[in-house]
Amino acid sequence: MLDAIAISDLHLGSDNCQAEALVQFLEAIRFGDVPTRRIILNGDVFDSIDFRRLKKHHWKVLSLIRKMADEVEIVWINGNHDGPSDIVSHLLGVTVVDEFLVVSGGKRVLFLHGHRFDAFLEKHRITTWFADWVYRMLQKIDPTHGFARWAKQSSKLFLRCTAKIEAESISYAETKDCDAVCCGHTHLAVANRNGPIEYFNSGCWTEKPCHYLTVENGFIDLKSYHESPAVVDRPQLAAVSA
């Protein structure tokens, strides 16, 4: 059994949210195909706190999370899109925190969203909004998301921001005497095992392929998830209401 599974940047309410794939993945966890002691939602589960934007499969994701909270430990780390933590906690009955520590195989693994280290986001909100809009348009134009990924990873500004978040997250984890730090926020899946403190980023669920992290006996692994063409018949869940 895994010590933890971490996913981030689901952006429920966004047109690009891969909600159907996420439902399959959560059901695989719930029904024992991917057993784990805890699930860590590492920020930006919502695209915004406007529940009117949620579609059918987005509500199903929330229904699964609420049901699974009675069966497995679920920790929600607040992201910059998630809104007030008391609303999230009340809606789903989960613990909402700013960061979370997992001890696995004698190693201390710190989870945080990472937006606290993104000074550009705070200083240049209009530029950030426009860049995000262009990125989402590219995803709509190309269903494979290949061009959007290329554009993002070719941006020197984006790469500088992600490098800064990685460096500052590692420095912060060092003050907490941790062996590894796991972030979200950048939507860029990363597994950097170089150096005394390992750095990981769980990517996102708005881009294909989707990514997640597993923690088992001190080893952290970055995995990609591809939606299965064969949908297993699972018991139906009642929808969560806001």
Report the candidate in 100, 48, 96, 52 with the shortest Cα–Cα distance to residue 76.
96
At residue 152, the pLDDT reads 55
- The SS3 of residue 149 is helix
Report the candidate in 60, 54, 48 with the shortest Cα–Cα distance to residue 23.
60
At residue 4, the pLDDT reads 98
At residue 89, the pLDDT reads 74
Contacts 24+ apart (CB under 8 A), 128-137: 131/155, 131/158, 136/14, 136/15, 136/16
CATH classification code of 4-225: 3.60.21.10
**What whole-number distance in Å separates Cα of residue 78 and Cα of residue 218?**
24
In this structure, are strands 95-97 and 219-225 parallel, antiparallel, or unpaired? Answer: unpaired
CA angle 56–59–60, rounded 5-degree value: 85
Q: Is the peptide bond before 35 cis (omega within 30 degrees of 0)?
A: no
Across the beta sheet with 190-192, what order do the strands follow? 99-104, 107-112, 180-183, 198-201, 190-192
Residues of the chain with pLDDT under 50: 120-121, 124, 130, 147, 150, 156, 230-232, 238-242
Q: Is this structure's pTM higher than 0.75?
A: yes
For the chain, the domains span 4-225
At residue 110, the pLDDT reads 98
At residue 156, the pLDDT reads 41
Say how far residue 226 (Cα) sits from the centre of its chain.
Answer: 16
At residue 132, the pLDDT reads 62
The dihedral formed by the CA atoms of 115, 117, 123 and 125, expressed in degrees to the nearest 10: -20
For 38, what's the count of Cα atoms within 13 Å in the CB-facing half-sphere? 19
**108 strand-pairing partners:** 103
Are 209 and 224 within 8 A, CB to CB?
yes
pLDDT by residue (tens digit) across 128-180?
554 565 566 656 665 666 645 545 555 545 556 788 999 999 999 999 999 99
Say how far residue 108 (Cα) sits from the centre of its chain.
Answer: 20
- The SS3 of residue 73 is strand
**What whole-number distance in Å separates Cα of residue 59 and Cα of residue 23?**
10
At residue 181, the pLDDT reads 98
**What whole-number distance in Å separates Cα of residue 79 and Cα of residue 183?**
10
